[in-house]
Amino acid sequence: MSSQSAMVTRREAIAGLGSLGALIILPGGGAAQEPPYLLGEWTGDSFAPMHAIRDGLSRAPLPPPERRVDIAVIGGGLAGLAVASLLQDRDLIVLERESEPGGVAKSKRWRDVDYALGSAYIIDLSEPFGGFYETLGLAPRPVSAPVDTALTGVAGEGDPRDGKWRSAYDDLKALLRRLHDSPDFPGMPISQASAPALALDRLSLFDFLRSEHIDAELFRFLDAFCLSALGAPAAEISAYAGVNFLSEINSPIYAFPGGNAAIARAMAARISRAGEGRIVTGAAVYAIEPAEGGYARIGWFDALHPGEPRCLEARWAVVAAPYFFAGRVLRGVDPATTATMTSQKQGSYLVANCCFEGPPPELRYDSWALGAQSFSDAISATAVLPAAERPKNHSVLTVYAPFRDPHAGRLRLLAGDRAALAAPIVEELRRFLPEALGAARLVEARLTRWGHHHLIAAPGIVATMRALPKRIGNVLLAHSDGQGMPAVESALVEALSAVEIIKKG
């Protein structure tokens, strides 16, 4: 972390105070110095290795290669792990910067409750996804609807979709159902999109839905949904991505205890079963460049010892790291391509896992807080369990707090003041989900930071991603960014495409 980037100006601090907006609600009017609950150590992104690369290492020379492999996968998130698990019989290695694979699909445990640090549920069990989960021995559980509860935070006012929004919400669902059943649905892979679907990408979701006469009232919900899932409010999101994601309100969703970390763990186990030591964690890649004989040379360093660069050669380099970052470490690539990759705007995200003692609240899976300043929605970590298996005297609520201003959010995450970040969330939970803090007592808040959690799916994103090459010589791009929509399905689609190219040779 450079000291300059860690500095927060007063303007920036004010701009970034609330996660969702400019307002912040602090109990007693100031940042909580000693909150009446424990604050766990940070989880999520480790910034130091990435900033060391940004601040100079990306230009550092590569040492002589230590070894050669058939396939080197750079990044052990869902996409990279999927590539490696589908090619498990090959001579391969996965280089992962963090101490654990999974990317944004990781989990931790409090007592006997597994909770997600990021990615939580899946939508699509059709082929090829359903079959893939089956080969991993996973049985996704239906957990009702993605938007189980929508709350205004006004006492006595329930879910507006059961009251004043009922017909507007029904209109939205009907529109999405019609689009979903049409051949022009804006789906994945984006390479197969029809011309009418691509026309959606030129519009914002806001403009598209308004042109379809969707009630403006609903945008309180739509903005929270888009910010949480796609990085910005509806007016700043591609209608292609927005319609694709929103369609989930018409279908059941599926989850595992601890969220999508279960998929990552199953893949990692499969890769390791085929050969120990193939997933190298704490390995930050700082350069990927063409080498003689059709090889790619990959420079990396032990994230704990940035001064000791290492190198290996691979017949195939599969870059499963975010594009904004991959563009910085790819060498010998057309500058226009890398410029497009590095210019993708990234959101920043705080996830607060709130651990409660006492009788668990009767919360459904996903509760949305409409108009809340500090978080968008909260997932009950135990709602995925059958009722008989839920703990009786403790629970965990996974609270999603995307920053409305990604840059200001990153500065706050870098500054790392956990008490100040947790306080407004806890305060607003009291208003929107009073039952969460009702009979139960908050004993610990565990914060996870995602500095560049995923790209913002702005209008034009699908066209941009379609225009970028998937293959540059023997370097393949295989990150969810390639679909322009941050989802498990995007990661798998990209992985499958890379695997197909490699299998064809």
Ligand X SMILES: Cc1cc2nc3c(=O)[nH]c(=O)nc-3n(C[C@H](O)[C@H](O)[C@H](O)COP(=O)(O)OP(=O)(O)OC[C@H]3O[C@@H](n4cnc5c(N)ncnc54)[C@H](O)[C@@H]3O)c2cc1C
Q: Please state the closest distance from residue 212 (CB atom) to ligand X, in A.
A: 25
Tell me the site size for ligand X, rule CB under 6 A.
38
Q: Between residues 98 and 236, which has the closer beta carbon with respect to ligand X? A: 98
Three-state SS at 291: strand
394 with 358: CB under 8 angstroms? yes
87 with 97: CB under 8 angstroms? no
**List 25, 72, 120, 341, residue binding ligand X (CB under 6 A):** 120
In angstroms, rounded to a whole number, what is the distance separating the alpha carbons of residues 99 and 304? Answer: 10
Return the range that interacts with ligand X (CB under 6 A); candidates 35-43, 100-108, 149-157, 458-466.
Answer: 100-108
Return the range that interacts with ligand X (CB under 6 A); candidates 20-28, 74-82, 209-217, 466-474.
Answer: 74-82
Q: Please state the closest distance from residue 195 (CB atom) to ligand X, in A.
A: 26
DSSP letter string, 1-56: --HHHH---HHHHHHTSSSSSS----GGGS--SS-SSEEPPPEE--HHHHHHHHTT
Q: Please state the closest distance from residue 282 (CB atom) to ligand X, in A.
A: 9
Regarding 282 and contact with ligand X (CB under 6 A), the answer is no
- HSE-CB for 83 with a 13 A CA cutoff: 38
Regarding 62 and contact with ligand X (CB under 6 A), the answer is no
Q: Between residues 16 and 101, which has the closer beta carbon with respect to ligand X? A: 101
**List 24, 84, 95, 266, residue binding ligand X (CB under 6 A):** 95
- Tokens matching residue 151: 């709350």
How many other CB atoms sit within 10 Å of the CB of residue 130?
14
- 3-state SS record for 58-115: HHCCCCCCCEEEEEEEECCEHHHHHHHHHCCCCCEEEEECCCCCECCCCEEEECCEEE
Q: Please state the closest distance from residue 431 (CB atom) to ligand X, in A.
A: 22
**List 113, 285, 287, 378, residue binding ligand X (CB under 6 A):** 285
Regarding 453 and contact with ligand X (CB under 6 A), the answer is yes
Q: Please state the closest distance from residue 127 (CB atom) to ligand X, in A.
A: 17
Regarding 93 and contact with ligand X (CB under 6 A), the answer is no
Torsion, CA 244, CA 485, CA 116, CA 93, rounded to 10:
140
- Tokens matching residue 228: 């949480």
H/E element, 329: helix 323-329
- 3-state SS record for 114-138: EEECCCCEECCCCCCHHHHHHHCCC
Q: Between residues 54 and 68, which has the closer beta carbon with respect to ligand X? A: 54
Regarding 409 and contact with ligand X (CB under 6 A), the answer is no
Q: Between residues 145 and 199, which has the closer beta carbon with respect to ligand X? A: 145
Q: Between residues 240 and 325, which has the closer beta carbon with respect to ligand X? A: 325
**List 98, 377, 427, 428, residue binding ligand X (CB under 6 A):** 98
Return the range that interacts with ligand X (CB under 6 A); candidates 72-80, 196-204, 219-227, 420-428.
Answer: 72-80
Regarding 231 and contact with ligand X (CB under 6 A), the answer is no
Q: Please state the closest distance from residue 213 (CB atom) to ligand X, in A.
A: 29
**List 115, 221, 368, 450, residue binding ligand X (CB under 6 A):** 450
- By DSSP bridging, strand 394-402 and strand 377-380 are antiparallel
Q: How many Å from the N-terminal Cα to the C-terminal Cα in the chain?
A: 41
Return the range that interacts with ligand X (CB under 6 A); candidates 11-19, 211-219, 330-338, 449-457.
Answer: 449-457
**List 16, 370, 479, 498, residue binding ligand X (CB under 6 A):** 479
> Could you tell me the CA-to-CA distances from 287 to 70, 96, 191, 281, 283 in Å, in that order?
18, 14, 28, 17, 12
**List 480, 484, 498, 499, residue binding ligand X (CB under 6 A):** 480
DSSP letter string, 248-272: GGGS--EE-TTTTHHHHHHHHHHHH
- Tokens matching residue 409: 């959010």
Q: C-alpha angle 12/13/14, rounded to 5°?
A: 90
**List 351, 408, 456, 499, residue binding ligand X (CB under 6 A):** 351
Q: Please state the closest distance from residue 276 (CB atom) to ligand X, in A.
A: 20
- 235 to 274: interface string for ligand X, x by CB under 6 A: -------------------------x--------------
Regarding 397 and contact with ligand X (CB under 6 A), the answer is no
Q: Please state the closest distance from residue 268 (CB atom) to ligand X, in A.
A: 11
**List 84, 172, 320, 457, residue binding ligand X (CB under 6 A):** 320
**List 57, 491, 498, 499, residue binding ligand X (CB under 6 A):** 491
In angstroms, rounded to a whole number, what is the distance separating the alpha carbons of residues 276 and 273? Answer: 7
Regarding 118 and contact with ligand X (CB under 6 A), the answer is yes
In angstroms, rounded to a whole number, what is the distance separating the alpha carbons of residues 109 and 129? Answer: 27
In angstroms, rounded to a whole number, what is the distance separating the alpha carbons of residues 243 and 44? Answer: 29
Regarding 96 and contact with ligand X (CB under 6 A), the answer is yes
Q: Please state the closest distance from residue 202 (CB atom) to ligand X, in A.
A: 23
Residues that bind ligand X (CB under 6 A): 74-80, 95-98, 103-105, 118-122, 260, 284-285, 320-322, 325, 349, 351, 450, 453-454, 479-480, 486-488, 490-491
